[in-house]
Amino acid sequence: MLRIQPIDIASIPQADWFFFYSKNGVEVFAKLWQDRWQSAIHNPIKWAAMGPGTADSMKGWGMHCDFVGHGEAEEVANQFLDHSKPTDSVVFYRAYHSRDRLYELIAPHRDSVSLPIYDNQMLKKTFAPVHVGIFTSSRNAIAFLDHNPVPENLSIAIGTPTADTLRSLSIPSAKIRLSNEPSEESIAKTLNEVLSDFSAAYGE
């Protein structure tokens, strides 16, 4: 439902930490600026990921993760503040339309820069009606529901912001299931639980 469009940046800030919110951010950075940061950054970089899925993507590009968050933004912020030093500086690489909640939580305590490196432009796509919808971001949910009917049985949200967006789009809380943490693994586990519940309810 989203087209990833890289945003050019004039220079890469110097920092102790490079923090990525998503796999899309990792891939844009790695494909376009890996050579640039290797030649422009003089101090060793420590790498941070919002969750395990993002960390796996970073490892695939040769970025060793020094910090991997678990849970919602508030939990991840506290974990990172405990893990990093008060004197550390951080660059958060994100989507242009990101809510940027993690940056907001950490910036009062660390020297931080929030840098959009890609735009996630919404697409107009229609699909046959579905029983279950899986939404991996607020913008993804908006793009889908602008052009498609509400999933008949349930909507699964990857995190609280996405669940809040679904409620704002008139989906009742009773028809929203929140994954235990914002990761693809947790989404898959939640979907399996939902399918098991349906199977038990309908004897299939």
Rounded to two decimals, what is the model's pTM? 0.79
Q: Where are the domains of the chain?
A: 2-121, 124-202
Q: In the CATH hierarchy, which fold is given to the domain comprising 124-202?
A: Rossmann fold (3.40.50)
Residue 198's pLDDT band, with cuts at 50, 70 and 90, is confident
Q: Dmax of the chain from CA atoms?
A: 62
Task: Tell me if 2-121 shares its fold with 124-202.
Answer: yes
2-121 is classed CATH 3.20.20.30: no
Cα–Cα distance for residue pair 19/50, rounded to 1 Å? 7
C-alpha closest to that of 195 among 145, 153, 136: 153
pLDDT tens, residue by residue, 58-79: 998 888 899 999 988 999 999 9
